[in-house]
Amino acid sequence: MGLLSHRVERSEIKPGDHIYTWRAAYTYSHHGIYVGGSKVVHFTRKKEAGTAGLDSAIAISSLLSQGSPECPTFPDCGFQLPDSGVILTCLDCFLRDGFLHGFEYGVTPAVFLAKLRGGTCTTAAADPPDVVVHRAMYLLQNGFGSYDVFENNCEDFALYCKTGLLPVDEPGIGRSGQASSAIGVPLAALLSTPFKLLAAGPLGMAAVTAGMYCAGRYITDIGVRKDVVKVEVENLSAHLGWRRAKAEEEMAMKKQQTSHDSKVKKSLLPLKRKRDNYCEIRS
Q: Which CATH number goes with the domain that contains 89?
A: 3.90.1720.10
Could you tell me what percent of the chain has a pLDDT over 90?
A: 37
Give residue 63's pLDDT.
36
CA–CA distance from 158 to each of 18, 63, 164, 216, 255 (Å)?
A: 6, 20, 10, 21, 35
Using CA of residue 136, residue 247, residue 56, residue 121, what is the dihedral sign? negative
Give residue 258's pLDDT.
72
Mean pLDDT of all residues in the chain? Answer: 76
Confidence of residue 32 (pLDDT cuts 50, 70, 90): very high
Instruction: Indicate whether 275 belongs to any domain.
Output: no
Instruction: Indicate whether 220 belongs to any domain.
Output: no
pLDDT exceeds 90 at position 20:
yes
Instruction: Indicate whether 17 belongs to any domain.
Output: yes
Instruction: Indicate whether 154 belongs to any domain.
Output: yes
pLDDT (tens digit per residue) in 158-176? 999 999 998 876 545 565 7
Spatial contact of 40 and 94, defined as CB atoms under 8 Å apart:
yes
Exposure string for 67-79, b = 16+ CB within 10 A, e = fewer: beeebeebeebbb
Q: Measure the CA angle with vertex 156, ends 151 and 157; round to 5°.
A: 125
Please give the average per-residue pLDDT across 35-61, as a whole number. 64
Helix (H, G, I), strand (E, B) or coil at 199: coil
Give residue 168's pLDDT.
77
Confidence of residue 74 (pLDDT cuts 50, 70, 90): confident
CA–CA distance from 84 to each of 43, 50, 91 (Å)?
A: 9, 10, 20
Cα separation of 214 and 40, whole Å? 31
pLDDT (tens digit per residue) in 77-134? 999 998 899 999 999 999 999 999 999 999 999 998 888 778 899 999 999 999 999 9
Confidence of residue 9 (pLDDT cuts 50, 70, 90): very high
Instruction: Indicate whether 179 belongs to any domain.
Output: no
Spatial contact of 99 and 20, defined as CB atoms under 8 Å apart:
no
Specify burial of residue 144 (Cβ count, 10 A radius: 0-12, 13-18, 19+): buried
Cα separation of 66 and 77, whole Å? 9
Q: Measure the CA angle with vertex 172, ends 170 and 175; round to 5°.
A: 85
* Residues 6 or more apart in contact with residue 130 via CB below 8 angstroms: 16
Instruction: Indicate whether 101 belongs to any domain.
Output: yes
Residue 195 is classified by DSSP as H
Q: Which residues are catalytic?
A: 30, 42, 154
Neighbours of 9 (CB within 10 A): 9
pLDDT exceeds 60 at position 280:
yes
Structural domain including 140 reads 1-45+73-164
Cα separation of 5 and 235, whole Å? 33
pLDDT exceeds 90 at position 8:
yes
Give residue 65's pLDDT.
39
- Number of domains observed in the structure of the chain: 1
Instruction: Indicate whether 79 belongs to any domain.
Output: yes
Instruction: Indicate whether 4 belongs to any domain.
Output: yes
Spatial contact of 85 and 108, defined as CB atoms under 8 Å apart:
no
Cα separation of 176 and 200, whole Å? 34
pLDDT (tens digit per residue) in 176-222? 767 666 554 444 444 444 545 555 556 555 555 556 667 777 888 88
Cα separation of 148 and 108, whole Å? 29
Specify burial of residue 3 (Cβ count, 10 A radius: 0-12, 13-18, 19+): exposed
Give residue 200's pLDDT.
54
